[in-house]
Structure 1
Amino acid sequence: VTPEGFPLAYEVLAGNTADKTTLHGFLKKIEGQYGKAERIWVMDRGIPTEEVLEEMRQSDPPVYYLVGTPKGRLSRYEKALTDRPWHQVRDGVEVKLLPQDNEVYVLAQSRDRVHKERSMRRRQLKRLWKRLQELRGMPLSRDQLLLKLGAAQQQSPSAWRLVHLQVPEGDEPWQFSLRKDRLREVRRREGRYLLRTNLVGRDPAQMWEFYTQLVQVEEAFKTLKGDLTIRPIFHQKEDRIEAHIFMAFMVYALHVTLRRRLRDLAPGLTPRSVLEKFAAVQMIDVHLPTTDGREVILTRYTQPEPELQMLLRQLRLSLPNQPPPRVTARGEVTQ
């Protein structure tokens, strides 16, 4: 994608391909196809290996990257990051920078993400706590209890790590309690991401924008299945798979273009809300019989409501002309 988020190209991999085995080949392929340039690879934590990252740092010119880190890495650098100052990169988003050798670790904190993750954690913990209280009041054997506890754990995996259970071997009542130390740790890390990059000296706001593009690309998968209502299709032939992905890529490119246009001309609106408004415009066929047994077919789109007309003017868009009529003759349709 471009720095503005517009998609340029995509690659299709064979099934059952491990993520960490793909990056090295991609680096060579992109360089061979498009030449050497100052590119920035934004990746999830499961994509690169330490060997490939070292190769990217030692490359001439260096290949820049911005990658997420495992949660355990935050524990390693949490103490060193404590004394670092926060830098505000935009409203509600702050970062801390920690130089390490030829890299910089970026601790990002999003206020919106804090609220979202905290709300999700509270709902899950409340549901789990209620279920545990229900189970404690049931006359269950130990085996039955363990099965139901396993089901509760599967339903609330994140909240499960915040609860301590004691299930004795005998007939003694089982107990559960809140692990307050883990809860404090989880609260402290909610809405925070630890990134690593070799973009030493870059503006923190720019690095945050780069990383949000990865989130937007990941959202594309939800977009294609949700906002754009592209249902799953299970192809068997490779050329059909390629064609389907190409069409999905083109649709996503249009979706990104709409999002950028809304940002410039109608801030506050999302592509989803606009698509919902445009769904009111429908294409219909009007069939008119003639006296000589033929039929005139008028393909027409419905006229937009005043609210939608105002939106079209705001976005500087205009609907195309109505299609010309078609006339049936001897079972065939002619213009």
Structure 2
Amino acid sequence: MDLTTLHFEVTDEDQLRKVGRSKEHRIDPQITVGLLVTANGFPLEIAMFEGNKAETKTIIPVIEQFKARHRVTELVVVADAGMVSAANLNALEDAGYRFIVGSRQSRVPYDLGDHFEKHGNYVPDGATIQTSRDMGTGKDKRSRRVVYQYSFKRRRREERAINAQVTKAEKVAAGERPIARDRFVTVTADSEGKKAQVNWEVIKRARFCAGFKGYVTNIDTTVMDGGQVVTAYHDLWRIEESFRMTKSDLAARPVFHRKQEAIEAHLTVVFAALAVARYLQDRTGWTIKRLVRTLRPLQSVTITIAGHQITAQPRLESETAALLDDLADLAGAKTGKPAGH
């Protein structure tokens, strides 16, 4: 599951629409929307919260609501690195859930340092490394299983980004670029003013982390090995894709409603449209954007001339006609009726 925000182009907050941490870096009042989907991206549950409510305080209510409605007994929560804190993971575990969440990149040197000292730092492309990490303090401290996967493709991509950022940092230190919050730049101040330097220690640590992606889970190795944990997490992109679809192709934003009931109705319509779109996408192989672009112009018009009603049907291109035939066949297969009925 994942959460996003939808903003409102208004200036004043109310009990629901509040200024909070925006996914789009906006300062407008917003709401937080939680979406629960299957592994292939089909929507299962949608929920709405105040715009300033922390993401970590919304996940368990969404899951509990889904479990109660559908009488689900077991499920695995897959979420991004925003959920990684001892308190959040303990709350999920205490509620009886198994989880797979992304680990923050900054943890790589600490988690893998001992492993590399004992086994060397060669890691084959696609290989996984199993480690553990104590999270929390005092009575809340728990040992967590951490799975790291190394990808040569990911390393090349991250190395390119690091090299570009190092070049910027060197230009800042040389006075060729203005001092800003560039990565790898350390700014100090003295009587002569601000001075920027390249932080080579941070660069060294970033290069050490390149290519590795970590995942924290409470699922035992006898249930899911490292590769299965990674595969399960990678399905998270489907929910991110669903959010992009609802915001753009299905016009979930901007939201022009004011009352909570109207906003909930708006989200319900968008949720239903996402379910239909996902179904059509899976059955036809067409993208949502292509489906919307093809079907939107299909409108009939009824006019009255001299007391007689005449209905004008849209002219169908061959591609559109083929799609409608496919959809009619799908409907016929579902209902058991001949196509076109």
1:283 corresponds in structure 2 to 298
Q: Does 1:65 align with 2:107?
A: no
In 2 relative to 1, CA 182–43 (structure 1 residues): closer, same or farther, beyond 3 Å?
same
Give runs of aligned pairs for residues 172-187 of structure 1, distance below 5 A. Answer: 178-187=198-207
Question: TM-score, normalization: structure 2?
Answer: 0.63
Q: Report if aligned partners of 2:108, 2:212 keep a CA contact under 8 Å in 1.
A: no
Alignment-mate amino acid for residue 214 of structure 2: L
Partner SS state of residue 10, structure 1:
strand
Alpha-carbon deviation of 1:67?
Answer: 1.6
1:298 corresponds to which of 289, 306, 312 = 312
Residue 200 of structure 1 and its aligned partner are, at CA, apart by 0.9
Where does residue 194 of structure 1 map in the other structure? 214
Q: For 2:145 and 2:168, locate their aligned partners in 1 and report how far apart those are by CA, in whole Å.
A: 40
- The TM-score with structure 1 as length reference comes to 0.64
Instruction: Give me the CA root mean square deviation.
Output: 4.1
Correspondence 1:271 to 2:287: yes
Point out where structure 2 has 5 or more consecutive residues left out of the alignment.
Answer: 1-36, 134-141, 330-341
For 1:80, which of 110, 114, 117 is the aligned residue?
114
Give per-residue Cα distances to partners, 1:295-315, cap 9 Å, x unaligned. Answer: 63403143135xx778x59xx
Distance in 2 between residues matched to 1:276 and 1:289, nearest whole Å: 34
Q: 1:206 maps to what in 2?
A: 228
* Shift of residue 236, structure 1, vs aligned partner: 0.9
Provide the C-alpha distance between the structure 2 equivalents of 1:128 and 1:254, rounded to a whole number of angstroms: 48
- Closer, same or farther in 2 for the Cα pair 1:33/1:276, shift >3 Å? closer
Structure 1 residue 22 corresponds to structure 2 residue 58: yes
Residue 9 in structure 1 maps to residue 29 in structure 2: no
Matched residue pairs, number? 280
Q: Distance in 2 between matches of 1:199 and 1:216?
A: 22
Partner of residue 149, structure 2: 108
Return the match for 2:255 from 223, 226, 233. 233
Is the Cα–Cα contact under 8 Å of residues 303 and 310 in structure 2 kept in the other structure? Answer: yes
Whichever of the two has the greater Rg, that structure is 1
2:153 and 2:251 map into 1 onto residues whose CA distance is 27
Identical aligned residues as a percent: 21
SS at match of 1:41: strand
- Partners of 1:165 and 1:176 within 8 A in 2: yes
Partner-residue secondary structure (3-state), 1:300: coil
* CA distances 1:248-302 after superposition (whole Å, capped 9, x unpaired): 222333444355447xxx6xxx726xx3487256325578885x37563403143
Task: Tell me, in whole angstroms, the C-alpha distance in 2 between the residues paired with 1:189 and 1:232.
Answer: 39
SS in 1 for 2:245: helix
C-alpha distance in structure 2 between counterparts of 1:86 and 1:58, whole Å: 38
The answer (yes or no) to whether the contact 2:165–2:183 under 8 Å persists in 1 is no
Deviation at 1:189, TM superposition (A): 1.9
- The 1:170/1:251 distance shift into structure 2, 3 A limit, reads same
**C-alpha deviation, 1:240, in angstroms:** 1.5
- How many angstroms apart in 2 are the aligned matches of 1:183 and 1:119? 13
Comparing 37-46 with 101-110, greater Cα deviation is found at 101-110
Give 1:118-133 correspondences, 5 Å limit: 118-126=159-167
Alpha-carbon contact 2:81-2:104 (below 8 Å) kept: yes
